[in-house]
Structure 1
Amino acid sequence: MYKVVSVKATDDYKLIVTFDNGTAKEYDMKPKLNEWPFELLKNKAFFKAVKVDAGGYGVSWNSELDLGEYELWKNGKEIKLV
């Protein structure tokens, strides 16, 4: 599986994730915002505090709230970065 090298949160609750093979994907978090524990991400400041996990195995907001690289790769939409 490809590792995450960077992540950026957008104003409309999407993550722009770049993987170590150069592919960029957009992952829409809106469908998850009503699920526990992701409802905490409705706070935009908290949502924008996303970071890449050590080793690139996913992204996280704190020690309990994260998404793995497989989920981001499988369900993200491939995009071209400008």
Structure 2
Amino acid sequence: MYPSVKTVTASSDYELIIEFDNGECGILDMKPFLDKGVFKELKNHNEFKSVHVVFDTIEWNSGADLDPEFVYSKCHSKQKLQKDHVHG
């Protein structure tokens, strides 16, 4: 079973910074997919930045979306997030 997407943030270089519900985060480089089908519309930076979480994956305002299993398997640099502890 794959983890669900918790948050997604678009970078200016067509990369997505993704946090999963298992505490991992990673980067998904979308550049290789921007010449394919519905993803061509994502070359427009405003459209690319419209990415948001829907259910357990990500989607854009244009209707393009990605399978959550694909998102998790293609993310690079997956690592557990460190929680900051503040001592008082």
TM over 0.5: yes
Computing the radius of gyration from Cα coordinates, the structure with the larger value is 2
Are 2:29 and 1:21 equivalent residues in the alignment?
Answer: no
Separation in 2 of the partners of 1:41 and 1:32? 9
Could you tell me the TM-score, scaled by structure 1's length?
Answer: 0.88
Partner of residue 69, structure 2: 70
Aligned-residue identity in percent: 38
Separation in 2 of the partners of 1:79 and 1:4? 13
Mapping for residues 1-12 of structure 1, pairs under 5 Å:
1-12=2-13
Larger deviation: 61-70 or 35-44?
Answer: 61-70
Separation in 1 of the partners of 2:4 and 2:58? 10
Partner of residue 44, structure 2: 43
Partner of residue 33, structure 1: 34
Contact 2:33 2:39 in 1 (8 A): yes
Contact 1:32 1:38 in 2 (8 A): yes
Separation in 2 of the partners of 1:68 and 1:58? 7
- Equivalent pairs counted in the alignment come to 80
Contact 2:28 2:71 in 1 (8 A): yes
Separation in 2 of the partners of 1:19 and 1:36? 26
Report Cα offsets for 1:21-73 as digits up to 9, x if no partner: 1100100000000001100000001100100012xx21000373101211111
Contiguous gaps of at least 5 residues in structure 1: none
Separation in 1 of the partners of 2:78 and 2:12? 17
